[in-house]
Amino acid sequence: MKQLTAKEVQEQLESGKELNIIDVREDDEVAEGKIPGATHIALGNLPIEMHDLDQEIPYILVCRSGGRSGRAQEIMADEGFDVTNMAGGMLTWEGKTE
């Protein structure tokens, strides 16, 4: 399974690369701040909502520590998505949040 560190994701964003980030945390966690531009789909809703996503686009998955996004990665990869887990999750994120 593919992984990036929070620093690698932050560097790509700061260099102007357009990333498709999905935050799989719960509503109350996302309310405390998420990566700017990230789409919020709680892990429990992912099996239904991922069918609205474009399978041609690579996605980066984020949660609090990397565990739930790892599970989300397995779920989406099984359906043919190109997904990368942000290792360490928001606990290791040092970039801006919204």
- Among 9, 30, 35, 63, the active-site one is 63
Q: How many alpha carbons fall within 13 Å on the CB side of residue 46? A: 26
| Beta-carbon count within 10 A of 69 CB | 27
Residue 63: active-site member: yes
Torsion angle defined by CA atoms of residues 28, 23, 44 and 66, in that order, rounded to the nearest 10 degrees: -100
Active site amino acids: 63
